[in-house]
Amino acid sequence: MADTPRHPFLQGLSKHRGAPPTVVVIFGASGDLTARKLIPAVYNLSVDGLLPADFHLVGFGRKAISDENFRALAKDAVREFSRRELNPDDWGRIAARTTYVAGDYDEPAAFVRLAAQLTAIEQRIGREVQPLFYISTPPSVFAPILRHLGASGLAGKYLGQDHHAKVIIEKPFGRDLGSALELNTTIRGVFAEHQVYRIDHYLGKETVQDLLVQRFANAIFEPLWNRNFIDSVQITVAEEGGVGSRGGYYEQSGCLRDMIQNHTMQLVALTAMEPPGSYAAEAIRDEKVKVLKAIQPLSLVAGGDVARAQYAAGMTGGKAVAGYVEEEGIAPGSTTETYAAIRLSINNWRWQGVPFYLRSGKRMARRVSEIAINFKRPPGTLFAESGGFDLAANTLAFQLQPDEGLSLVLNTKIPGLETRTQPVKMSFRYSTTFGSNTPEAYERLVLDAMIGDGTLFIRGDEAETSWKLYTPVLAAWAAAGAEGLDRYAAGSWGPASGDALLARHGHLWRQP
């Protein structure tokens, strides 16, 4: 297939960061994440010429599947979920090096078979191959997989060399501080921290990566990025859909565990961190941890720093939809929150007195994720609102989904013979500037793990620090039961308690 012409803005940019010969082993190879994200990511990296010449893919799962059938399933996944159409030649190069190992995750003999498979690959190509283990399974089998990778010797393969074994672990990293500490103890008993890549796909989104570029590559922003100029920060991660077929999982999770503790806190850390000493992974991750440690414990009394709610019946997309407790797999008296709003206070020189407001929920007005930096209002000495001027606070908003980009709200004069003002929005969108075929987050993250770049992954102490903040909240909500659990209509922007959280401090939610 002829190379697709690159967008003019991308001409001259490098398309390759060298990865050593690699075999990616996917645990949970017949699962939904593998089909929707991981196999398409591998395919698109191949199309872009970013896979090493000696690349192999091994699926590992409980189901007894032949190599041929696994290749067929993988091909179907590319056909259905890839951002590019399946090309037989491109797929053929991957398929020829794709195999499958069947076995239980707590079966020592299965890991012996896996080790033999990797040895056979090395003997066939006549060189050592970096093993990259991707654990895409339910959390209940994280520990057995990790232990058997250690016991089989696979975790220590080529340790001390550039092509040492690595492991990618999907979230959730525990359910609270205690379970996160236990999981990290298991991980550290098998792998060194530099071998571990705790994945949060939000960090692979273009706009999330661009946040650091906007802050530190543009001199107009960083001097203003502090309590002297910024009034508040709002981070919204809203979903239009309900729990769907994930009711059983969501009942055990809830919004705080599912979205706030991981995805949303990553956005907080990147927004609030100090400039790192370098762009090296550890320099950036050190600054993220410092920010998380500076966040003050949350007030859990009525009128404090948290609000929770559950969606009731309402209208979404012009259609009537059921409330959470009417969804499949949900207990009638469930107190699981589908919405959470948080007010964070960061006790450091840069952010003292600047509230960070977080909210996430299901069945909200529309699907959108954004970070909004709200600057202080200009003094009204020249353009007082009582004089007919419509002055808005300047807002810099990073939109992460569905249409990645950023916008800046400015005040401008309305054309005419009188001096009147109106807020206007200046916008940049990745799709219109760089073309619409933006790489998926998993493509960037899988590539970074192969080359050993941990910048966009979560370090163990980072996960523990976040859980330390939110574990008391989870405990308080569990003890309170239904008390304090608000309701909001499906298709709305959330409950009254979420609005009150901001109103108590003189703020309103921005409507993205």
Q: Does residue 311 belong to any structural domain of this protein? A: yes
Which has the minimum average pLDDT: 2-16, 213-227, 446-460, 489-503? 2-16
User: For 154-165, what is the mean pLDDT?
Assistant: 91
Residue 207: what pLDDT? 84
CA dihedral 467→497→375→238, nearest 10 degrees, is 70
8 A C-beta contact, residue 361 and residue 338: yes
Question: What is the per-residue pLDDT across 394-441, written as a single tens digit (0 to 9) for each?
Answer: 999 999 888 888 999 988 888 887 777 778 899 988 888 877 677 889
What is the amino acid identity at position 430?
Y
Residue 381: what pLDDT? 62
Residue 144 and residue 13 share a domain: yes
Q: Does residue 406 belong to any structural domain of this protein? A: yes
Alpha helices in 24-107 (DSSP H): 32-33, 39-47, 67-81, 88-95
Residue 209 and residue 133 share a domain: no
Q: What percent of the chain has pLDDT over 70?
A: 94
Residue 210 and residue 119 share a domain: no
267 SS3 class: helix
Residue 385: what pLDDT? 59
Q: Is the peptide bond before 139 cis (omega within 30 degrees of 0)?
A: no
Structure tokens belonging to residue 391: 């002055």
232 SS3 class: strand
Q: Is the peptide bond before 402 cis (omega within 30 degrees of 0)?
A: yes
pTM, two decimal places: 0.91
Structure tokens belonging to residue 445: 């993250």
Residue 406 and residue 262 share a domain: yes
Q: d(Cα 378, Cα 42) in Å, to the nearest integer?
A: 50
Q: d(Cα 506, Cα 502) in Å, to the nearest integer?
A: 6
Q: Is the pLDDT of residue 172 over 90?
A: no
User: For 52-64, what is the mean pLDDT?
Assistant: 95
- Identify the residue whose tokens are 């409980």: 62
Q: What is the number of domains present in the chain?
A: 2
Q: Does residue 440 belong to any structural domain of this protein? A: no
Q: What is the CA radius of gyration of the chain?
A: 24
What is the amino acid identity at position 148?
H
Q: d(Cα 342, Cα 260) in Å, to the nearest integer?
A: 9
DSSP 189: T
Q: Does residue 283 belong to any structural domain of this protein? A: yes
Between strands 355-361 and 230-238, the pairing is: parallel
Q: Is the pLDDT of residue 10 over 80?
A: no
Q: Is the pLDDT of residue 298 over 50?
A: yes
For 103, the domain range is 8-170
Q: Does residue 44 belong to any structural domain of this protein? A: yes
Q: Does residue 282 belong to any structural domain of this protein? A: yes
Q: Higher model confidence: residue 385 or residue 362?
A: 362
Q: d(Cα 495, Cα 504) in Å, to the nearest integer?
A: 15
Residue 464: what pLDDT? 97
Q: d(Cα 443, Cα 19) in Å, to the nearest integer?
A: 14
Residue 211 and residue 151 share a domain: no
Residue 323 and residue 219 share a domain: yes
Please, what is the average pLDDT of the chain?
91
Which has the minimum average pLDDT: 43-47, 341-345, 415-419, 501-505? 415-419
- Which pLDDT band, with edges at 50, 70 and 90, does 1 fall under? very low
8 A C-beta contact, residue 131 and residue 101: no
Size of the chain in residues: 512
Q: Does residue 461 belong to any structural domain of this protein? A: no
Domain containing residue 478: CATH number:
3.30.360.10
Residue 220 and residue 83 share a domain: no
Question: What is the per-residue pLDDT across 325-347, written as a single tens digit (0 to 9) for each?
Answer: 999 889 999 999 999 999 999 99
Q: d(Cα 200, Cα 458) in Å, to the nearest integer?
A: 7
Instruction: Please name which of 213, 167, 161 lies closest in space to residue 189, comparing C-alpha atoms.
Output: 167
- Which pLDDT band, with edges at 50, 70 and 90, does 246 fall under? confident
Q: d(Cα 1, Cα 82) in Å, to the nearest integer?
A: 17
- Looking at the annotation, which residues are catalytic? 263
8 A C-beta contact, residue 360 and residue 340: yes
Residue 153 and residue 275 share a domain: no
User: For 235-252, what is the mean pLDDT?
Assistant: 90
Domain containing residue 42: CATH number:
3.40.50.720
Q: Does residue 438 belong to any structural domain of this protein? A: no
Residue 6: what pLDDT? 45
Residue 279 and residue 145 share a domain: no
Q: d(Cα 509, Cα 489) in Å, to the nearest integer?
A: 17
User: For 178-204, what is the mean pLDDT?
Assistant: 95
Which has the minimum average pLDDT: 137-141, 153-157, 233-237, 403-407? 403-407
Residue 378: what pLDDT? 78
Point out the domain boundary residue: 124, 149, 170: 170
